[in-house]
């Protein structure tokens, strides 16, 4: 399954997997959107899988947003690995 991204009411909804086959487009998409916005909120309710690269990308988005005084938030009850990975890096 690929990764699908939609936007509704200012929230980006992700569906599918964030892994080596979808990582490049995921990073490109959110690097661009973060450069154009002061706030990015992603909903991960429908993320089925995330690999280490995906967790690292979310961590880097969060870190870069903080450095640039922007907001990058993850909401929803999707893959527990996302929260575990970010928590290990002491961002939560």
The full set of domain ranges for the chain reads 3-88
- Residues ≥6 apart with Cβ < 8 Å to 76: 42, 43, 44, 45, 47
pLDDT, residue 81, reads 62
> Residues 56, 62, 65, 69: what is their CA dihedral angle, to the nearest 10 degrees?
-150
Do the Cβ atoms of 41 and 75 come closer than 8 Å?
Answer: yes
Fold observed for domain 3-88? Transcription Regulator spoIIAA (3.30.750)
Q: Over its length of 92 residues, how does the chain's per-residue pLDDT go in tens digits?
A: 699 999 999 999 999 999 999 999 999 999 999 999 999 999 999 998 888 899 899 989 999 999 999 999 999 886 666 656 556 665 44
3-state secondary structure of 80: helix
């Amino acid at each position: 399954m690929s990764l699908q991204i939609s936007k509704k009411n200012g929230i980006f909804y992700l569906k599918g997997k964030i892994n080596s086959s979808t990582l490049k487009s995921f990073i490109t998409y959110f690097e661009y959107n973060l450069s154009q916005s002061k706030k990015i909120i992603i909903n991960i309710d429908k993320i089925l899988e995330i690999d280490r690269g995906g967790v690292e990308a979310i961590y880097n988005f969060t870190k870069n947003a903080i450095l640039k005084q922007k907001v990058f938030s993850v909401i929803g009850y999707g893959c527990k690995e996302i929260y575990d990975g970010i928590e290990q890096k002491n961002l939560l």
